Structure 1
Amino acid sequence: MAGVLIGLALLAFWLFSLFDVITAPEEEVRNVPKALWVLIVVLIPLLGGLIWMLRGRPKVVRDPWPVPPGPGMPKGPDDDPDFLRDLDRRMRGED
């Protein structure tokens, strides 16, 4: 049973790696051309997928977190004048 689970996990990893290579934008693939990455992943399933994940996969550019609100944007509900006006109106029963 353990062998079947390991085999399924390896198959899933291989398929994930293959689809990841295929769907990666050509201009963002690193180190070698995309067609060569497809061949590497197909011909050397486990090792090719690992190499793809470490050396070929496009780097994800992430914004710093948390992203501060832009100028003119309220930071919270209590900083939003429209929200406070609406809340005051609802509290007075003017719905």
Structure 2
Amino acid sequence: MPRVLLIIAVVMLTVYCVVEVAQSRGYRVRSMPRWLWAFAVICVPVVGPVAWLFLGRPHKQTRQLPRPGSAPDDDEDFLRGLR
């Protein structure tokens, strides 16, 4: 039974990391290109996903809130998203 749980945990970690690599499209990943991370996560069972979690995930980008009292159409990022 413990062996089955370990296999399920490895599969779930791999699936989670594959989805996260796929969703990192607009972000800059660290250390290697995104396609190489996907290859490593899929082909190297435990080391690939753990390496992605600690070495490859993109940094969280903090979004700046507009200044108080400014209208949404003053924010260039907001206007760019409307197109």
Shorter-chain TM-score bucket reads 0.5 to 0.7
Misfit runs of 4+, over 6 Å: none
CA distance in 2 between counterparts of 1:61 and 1:45 reads: 29
- Number of the residue aligned with 1:19: 19
Unpaired runs of at least 5, structure 2: 70-83
- Number of the residue aligned with 1:44: 44
Aligned pair count reads 66
- Number of the residue aligned with 2:74: none
Give 1:62 shift. 4.4
Give 1:5 shift. 1.1
* CA RMSD across the alignment: 1.9
- Higher RCO (CA-CA < 8 Å; seq separation 6+): 2
CA distance in 1 between counterparts of 2:4 and 2:50 reads: 21
Query: % of aligned pairs identical?
Result: 29
Q: Is the 8 A contact 1:29 1:58 kept in 2?
A: yes
CA distance in 1 between counterparts of 2:38 and 2:27 reads: 15
Q: Which has the larger radius of gyration?
A: 1
Unpaired runs of at least 5, structure 1: 64-69, 73-95
